[in-house]
Amino acid sequence: MVYQYCICQPKKTKSILKYHTYYSAIIKKYLEASDEWVSTKNKAISHFCDHDPAGRIKCRLALRSYIFDKAVLARVLRHIPYHPPTFIIQGGRLNETEKKNAKKYLSPNKSHKWFLKPAMSCGGVGIQVLSTLNEFPQHVNPMKQYVIQRCINSILYQGKKFDIRSYILVVVSKKRVRFYLSKDSCMHISSYLYDENKLDKEINVTNLYYQKLIKTDESSDDTKSDCYRNTLSLSRWEHYQTVFPKMKEAIRVIASKLDSQIIRRNTVALLGCDFIIDQDLNPHFLEVNINIGFSIHIRPPETATMLTEMIQEIIPVGYLPLINNQIPPKESNQWIQAYVS
């Protein structure tokens, strides 16, 4: 049995059935190798990405749920070089272990931006930008868990801050785990020029969902054209050839830490991983996402095409090897293997 990796957002609407029906049709047509495969595939993929107004899919992975909890992920990845200093706030405070880990950052004279995030939030919801680590007590609810993450001195794109949404395909077969990294990714760019002295969320938080809510002074009334300015294919960036191999190595190291948490059963899953790039072109891993936006209609044409082809190749890279009891390939046009257990 191969566990289905995606359904639409868990809303009680007919769209759930439509997502399941269309995606199943893709696999069925592929296996049958019928003459109608190409046209059916394109129609189904388009519907799969855009039918729901939010353009989202929900991915399900045979991992213990805490991998998506920012607090527990911070513990797992604490000692790897690709993860920014991140500390866990429980009950409105840092416990003794966290205080010890954060000791060198707690001096009131050390001013540096920090991001305060609810442990289980996504889409930029609840994030606050602080000027020092010591400020967090007045911004937290003691009944909730948070993480506070040190801001990376990142490289800018045309004077604006950005992050990179990379896509990770996890294939579990024959009790082995494989992590694939998409060869292209999406750059999510702020709507405003960056100012290191400002704590404004719209300048510092580059999440695409959040940026879609921002109305800039120079923007038009066309939401689509506004969003075009907030996203770009990573392969079009001048530093792509330098950054991509480093991102692949980062995923290899991160996957090796997560490997032991993955249940060994045939599974195919798609994850979104966010990176930020520092001034020396080194990647820093921020978080894992399971609610991944595929709003094709608000993406530039080249980015929309890349995402569509990437989704299509999940079938030959992930599903078919499991169905046919074969070893998944090491590489395809859109995916490259970054880790195998």
pTM of the shown model: 0.79
Q: What is the pLDDT of residue 209?
A: 67
List % helix, strand, coil for the chain (3-state, nearest 5).
35, 25, 40
Q: List pLDDT tens digits, range 69-93.
A: 788 888 888 888 899 999 999 999 9
Indicate the burial class of 89 (C-beta count within 10 angstroms; 0-12, 13-18, 19 or more).
buried
Instruction: Tell whether the model's pLDDT for residue 54 goes beyond 50.
Output: no
Indicate the SS3 state at residue 12: coil
DSSP 137-179: GGG--TTS-EEEEEPP-B--BTTB-EEEEEEEEEEEETTEEEE
> Mean pLDDT throughout 50-77?
55
Q: List pLDDT tens digits, range 24-33.
A: 444 444 444 4
Q: What is the pLDDT of residue 148?
A: 92
Q: Which domains are seen in the chain, by residue range?
A: 6-56 (no CATH), 85-150 (3.30.1490.20), 155-340 (3.30.470.20)
